Structure 1
Amino acid sequence: MKLSCCIDLNEKDIISIVGAGGKTSLMFELAQEIKKQKSKILTTTTTKIYVPTKEKYDYIFLNDKLIFKSLISDKKGIYVYGKTINTEGKIIGLSEDQLNSVLGYFDYMLIEADGANEKSLKGWNSTEPVIYSATTKTIGLLDIQSLGMTICENSIHRFEEFCKITTSNKGEKITLDHLLKLIIHPQGLFKNSKGEKILFINKADNLHHLNMAMQLINSKIISCANIVDKIIVGSIKNKNYTNIGLNKGVDTVL
């Protein structure tokens, strides 16, 4: 089963990706898969992302004035749009109004809607995440390899907010309970989410981390009603994905 099938992707879907531990990789992996359908795909951000390497896209426009001149093109492929590049070498993303302006020109829109400063976990301040109002699916990314990690400023983006959400303290080790709180808390992973809520537990790269992900799901998440609409466990790196049936446990293992 492909990633797009796990997500149950539909034409004209607008997907916002939040969390930490592989958002950009997920966005471009999904874009590459959709591209095989001869589709026109927008990849962008409402925050900031590093400029992707050339093999990840077909067309790139990083000048506010050039973006809208390119929209009438009927060429299929992956488009990267941004306002400009800042001094960090990051793309400054599109505003709500700009996203509204390009809405009708693409078969799919993939939006990185959160920032984690390349950390494995994060907390959220009052302005985050920045989710486009027309989003049809929100994918919340969770790094299962963060289990056992020491809670501190060096490993967690917005460390103080994370501790409030998870009722944790500096120096503790990340547990399944901490990750559950991060998922279910109103100010946590699915804060401001729109449309279908999809939990993607990433970096289940080996049997140990797959078992930890399943333990989190079976002992914690499935027992809590109305947290998410769909759960995927997998490894973006290895292109392996597992669909989880919320009432039955594992549905499909690849």
Structure 2
Amino acid sequence: MMTDNLSKTLCIRRGITAVIGSGGKTTLLRELARELSACGSVILTTSTHIRPFPDLPCLASFSPDSLENEAVIRSRLSVSPLLCIGTPAKEGKLSAPPLPFDHLARLADYVLIEADGSRGLPIKAHRGGEPVIPDGTRRIILLAGFSGFGKPVRNAVHVPERFLALTGAGEQDLLTPELCGEAIQKEHLADVIVLNQADDLHCPDSALRTETLSLCRRFAKKTDLPVFAGSLREHFLIRIDRES
């Protein structure tokens, strides 16, 4: 199944959605925010850290009075249905806003949260206390980067020591779809997985597409979660059938 509507494919409901993992969180958040703002109001924020979206309206200055902050957010959303919110942090990033996330969910139809950090690596394993999922979250989407397959674990995985503990692999071992799927299954942190960067699934070269699809299926067979694979930048995902 191909999709041109990511929010519908990933079953995004009103309320809080958290995006975790690695390999495309920012792209997914942007695409979901763009889609959902066509049918409701959207707050884009973080429970950890996020870089501001330079082309999106942003609120990063707050009053000590929470009621005043809520009034400002309502006013901004009445002008634009999409608003990025966060508290200024180091290196130009934003950290979590001062308002509780359940309050934000009363101010906007959809609250999209980046709830994980990965330092740009394609795969993420999680330490204790990670990811930071707010209470009341209705959907958790885990991103994994297809580009990590075939690379040494130490070069492809953020928090490799946790990944090694989960899988028994060595840090010099090549990252296989099976190892990645095994680690994600053992953590079991999400409702659905997006295997991003599998661009060749959309390739007219049937040999490349077949090879990529085979790797995606090998990954999917190691987890009981729904798996979609493809390219978020191309707005292309397919549901991976484990049985074929």
Normalization by structure 2: what TM-score? 0.84
* Paired amino acid for 1:5: K
Following the alignment from structure 1 to structure 2, what is the Cα–Cα distance between the partners of residues 163 and 209?
Answer: 30
* Paired amino acid for 1:47: T
Once the two structures are TM-superposed, the CA of residue 87 in structure 1 deviates from its matched residue by: 2.3
* Paired amino acid for 2:59: F
* Paired amino acid for 2:161: E
- Partner-residue secondary structure (3-state), 2:194: strand
Q: 2:6 aligns with which of 3, 23, 30?
A: 3
Q: 2:38 aligns with which of 33, 36, 43?
A: 36
Structure 1 162/31 Cα, relative in aligned 2: closer, same or farther at 3 Å?
same
Q: 1:78 aligns with which of 71, 78, 82?
A: 82
Structure 1 232/155 Cα, relative in aligned 2: closer, same or farther at 3 Å?
closer
- Partner-residue secondary structure (3-state), 2:91: coil
Q: Deviations over 1:113-166 (max 9, x none)?
A: 1110111112211110001111111101111111101121x4422121121122
- 8 A Cα contact 2:182 2:222, kept in partner: no
Matched residue, 1:215: 214
Structure 1 vs Structure 2: percent identity of aligned residues? 23
Matched residue, 2:24: 22
- Partner-residue secondary structure (3-state), 1:206: helix
Matched residue, 1:236: 232
Matched residue, 2:135: 133
* Paired amino acid for 2:113: I
Residue 225 of structure 2 corresponds to residue 199 of structure 1: no
Where do 5+ consecutive residues of structure 1 fail to align?
250-254
Once the two structures are TM-superposed, the CA of residue 103 in structure 1 deviates from its matched residue by: 1.8
Matched residue, 2:169: 168
Following the alignment from structure 1 to structure 2, what is the Cα–Cα distance between the partners of residues 213 and 241?
Answer: 13
Structure 1 149/219 Cα, relative in aligned 2: closer, same or farther at 3 Å?
closer
Structure 1 89/168 Cα, relative in aligned 2: closer, same or farther at 3 Å?
same
Q: Decide which structure has greater helix share.
A: 2
- 8 A Cα contact 1:213 1:233, kept in partner: no
Structure 1 213/199 Cα, relative in aligned 2: closer, same or farther at 3 Å?
farther
Once the two structures are TM-superposed, the CA of residue 211 in structure 1 deviates from its matched residue by: 4.3
Matched residue, 1:143: 145
Q: How many residues align?
A: 230
Matched residue, 2:122: 120
Once the two structures are TM-superposed, the CA of residue 9 in structure 1 deviates from its matched residue by: 2.9
- 8 A Cα contact 2:220 2:227, kept in partner: no
Structure 1 218/87 Cα, relative in aligned 2: closer, same or farther at 3 Å?
closer
- Partner-residue secondary structure (3-state), 1:88: helix
Q: Deviations over 1:64-112 (max 9, x none)?
A: 32743423323342111112x22211101237x6112222111111111
Structure 1 137/215 Cα, relative in aligned 2: closer, same or farther at 3 Å?
same
Further displaced range: 1-10 or 136-145: 1-10
Calculate the aligned-residue CA RMSD, in Å: 2.4
Matched residue, 1:92: 95
Structure 1 223/144 Cα, relative in aligned 2: closer, same or farther at 3 Å?
closer
